[in-house]
Amino acid sequence: MIAIIGAGISGLTLAYELQKQGKPYILFESSSRTGGYINSVQNGNYLLEVGPNSILVDKNFENFLRELNLADKIEEAAAVNKNRFIYKNGKIRKMPSGPLSLLSSSFFSFKTKAAIFKEFSNTSKTTLNETVSDFFTRRFTKELTEYTVDPFATGVYAGDIKQLIMEETFPQVVAFEKEFGSVLKGVFKKGFGGRRKTATLQGGLQTLTDTITASLKHISYNSKVLSLQKTGSVYNLQVQLDTEVKQIEVSQVVFCTTAFHSAEILNEYSPAVAGKLRQVTYAPIKAAYVAFKRADVTHPMNGFGCLYPSAEKSFLAGTIWNSSIFKNRCPADEILATSFIGGMHHPEYTRLPDEEIKQRAVQQLTKDLEIKGTPTYVHIAGWDKAIPQYDLSLKEAKEAIKGLETQHIYFSSNWTQAISLGSCVQNAQLLAGTL
């Protein structure tokens, strides 16, 4: 029997694949619902993604959705999603989308434009544990790092590029430098994998996790795994089931939960590994879901959204223009935007009262999008530990768990290989084949 701890997308996918292969499993979920951070909420006329907002669908992921009979539920993002905006000098500005627009745009200085072309002949090399900030500043310029890499890392990781480790965060980019001597040469020769499209599912991303859940036969809800012990070749899990603690025997254990939850369970079995997992940093985030009447919004909002570089000292870290890229997110005569606050640059913002977060978020959106009216809807959500940081502490944690694989203890989550939803699915599929 294989025990899977945590029914987020990784745990659900692993259970689904094991069930297909006829391998016995039991999936433990400490709450009354599956999906983990994936949580689509229909609040009146507003569809909110209280977690990930979209998925990048490659061939592997599309095949997975077809297998789940979800192909007809895929909703590709509107074409304007390719337009990306960055906040610079107090204004929302469109990013150059290619070589010609880069040359004609005033977004970057002449020095940075020249550095981009000179990168082909930049002979500098990465060093062990080089940060994302140092890597891109070395190969390009500080301006490019501050106004492209920094906001991108904030949007994906809610992270600080002066702490994120390059080889952990962007391993493919490091590989390009090593193989071709240039990041841009690598991109031109190999690209970033196959074609991927930004998409969601009708009803929100939770449609995916709900569909997988409905197919599974062995989910134990409200089952908090407390500890792990071993007797001979058998693992004993202490599981809290409501008011009762049960001991369950299994042959293999897979952690599909956060690093800090894994640390709690492993504390008795392996204090050293648990100690490393406890050191993994998670960025705190608050999200403000705000709607306005479309007629009151001057900005066309013809893009995916706007990212705010840390150099701009903004209250908002980034905003997704939900109604611009996906259908049925709000009433037809309104716009809906999801703005993120906090992250590693300003964790203190997440500790503000919700009413102050609401006020400051609305105030900045009103200014940046040139809005004349008041919001028709505002909702605040938050996570004290939202996104794992691919920094030195995470690198050490990943090294520490390697030794447990020989003991039939495995890990599959958004902190173990890669953070994206598609990567979590693919890594769980690969692990299922080895168990």
Separation between Cα atoms, residue 117 and residue 274, nearest integer Å: 46
Angle (CA) 46-38-306 rounded to 5° is 65
Parallel, antiparallel or unpaired: strands 252-255 and 409-411: parallel
Of 280, 279, 278, 285, nearest in space to 263 by CA: 278
Separation between Cα atoms, residue 293 and residue 423, nearest integer Å: 37
Q: What is the mean pLDDT of residues 402-430?
A: 95
> Does residue 184 share a domain with residue 149?
yes
Structure tokens at 375: 């919001």
Structure confidence by residue, pLDDT tens digits, 35-57: 999 999 999 999 999 999 999 99
Separation between Cα atoms, residue 377 and residue 334, nearest integer Å: 10
- Output the CA torsion sign for 56, 60, 61, 62: positive
> Does residue 222 share a domain with residue 155?
no
Does residue 151 carry a pLDDT above 90?
yes
Run of H or E residues at 417: none
> Does residue 405 share a domain with residue 261?
yes
Residue 83 belongs to a domain = no
CB under 8 Å to 308, separation ≥6 — which residues? Answer: 86, 87, 151, 154, 314, 316, 317, 318, 319
Indicate the average pLDDT of the chain. 95
Q: What is the mean pLDDT of residues 212-227?
A: 97
**Banded model confidence at residue 379, pLDDT cuts 50, 70, 90:** very high
Q: How many domains does the chain have?
A: 2
With the CA atoms of 148, 152, 155 and 159 taken in that order, what torsion angle do they form, in degrees rounded to the nearest 10?
-100
DSSP 332-384: TTEEEEEEEEETTT-GGGGGS-HHHHHHHHHHHHHHHTTB-S--SEEEEEEEE
Does residue 192 carry a pLDDT above 90?
no
Residue 240 sits in a domain whose CATH number is 3.50.50.60
Residue 311 belongs to a domain = no
Q: What is the mean pLDDT of residues 271-292?
A: 98
> Does residue 216 share a domain with residue 159?
no
Cβ contact 196:423 at 8 Å: no
Separation between Cα atoms, residue 227 and residue 261, nearest integer Å: 11
**Banded model confidence at residue 193, pLDDT cuts 50, 70, 90:** low
Does residue 190 carry a pLDDT above 90?
no
Q: What is the mean pLDDT of residues 130-153?
A: 96
Separation between Cα atoms, residue 11 and residue 60, nearest integer Å: 18
Cβ contact 75:201 at 8 Å: yes
Which of 162, 181, 198 finishes a domain?
198
Of 59, 55, 60, nearest in space to 74 by CA: 55
> Does residue 160 share a domain with residue 217?
no
Within 10 Å of residue 356's Cβ, how many Cβ atoms? 10
Residue 55 belongs to a domain = no
Residue 326 belongs to a domain = no
Residue 256 belongs to a domain = yes
Which of 173, 198, 223 finishes a domain?
198
Cβ contact 219:25 at 8 Å: no
Cβ contact 285:341 at 8 Å: yes
Check residue 234 and give its pLDDT. 93
Check residue 100 and give its pLDDT. 73
Residue corresponding to tokens 């409200």: 222
Does residue 194 carry a pLDDT above 70?
no
Separation between Cα atoms, residue 362 and residue 85, nearest integer Å: 19
> Does residue 149 share a domain with residue 164?
yes
Q: What are phi and psi of 395, to 5 degrees?
A: -60, -45
Does residue 98 carry a pLDDT above 80?
no
Q: What separation, in Å, do the N-terminal and C-terminal C-alpha atoms of the chain show?
A: 11
- Output the CA torsion sign for 130, 136, 140, 141: negative
Of 240, 235, 242, nearest in space to 225 by CA: 240
pTM: 0.94
Q: What are phi and psi of 217, to 5 degrees?
A: -105, -15
CB under 8 Å to 177, separation ≥6 — which residues? Answer: 125, 126, 139, 183, 186
Q: What is the mean pLDDT of residues 324-339?
A: 97
Which of 198, 218, 239 finishes a domain?
198
Q: What is the mean pLDDT of residues 410-415?
A: 97
Residue 304 belongs to a domain = no
> Does residue 228 share a domain with residue 172?
no
Residue 173 sits in a domain whose CATH number is 1.10.3110.10
> Does residue 264 share a domain with residue 397?
yes
> Does residue 396 share a domain with residue 259?
yes
What residue numbers bound the domain in which 176 lies?
A: 99-198
Residue 299 belongs to a domain = no
> Does residue 221 share a domain with residue 180?
no
> Does residue 267 share a domain with residue 398?
yes
Q: What is the mean pLDDT of residues 291-316?
A: 97
Separation between Cα atoms, residue 239 and residue 221, nearest integer Å: 11
> Does residue 233 share a domain with residue 157?
no
Separation between Cα atoms, residue 202 and residue 206, nearest integer Å: 9
Check residue 99 and give its pLDDT. 72
Separation between Cα atoms, residue 380 and residue 49, nearest integer Å: 12
Residue 287 belongs to a domain = no
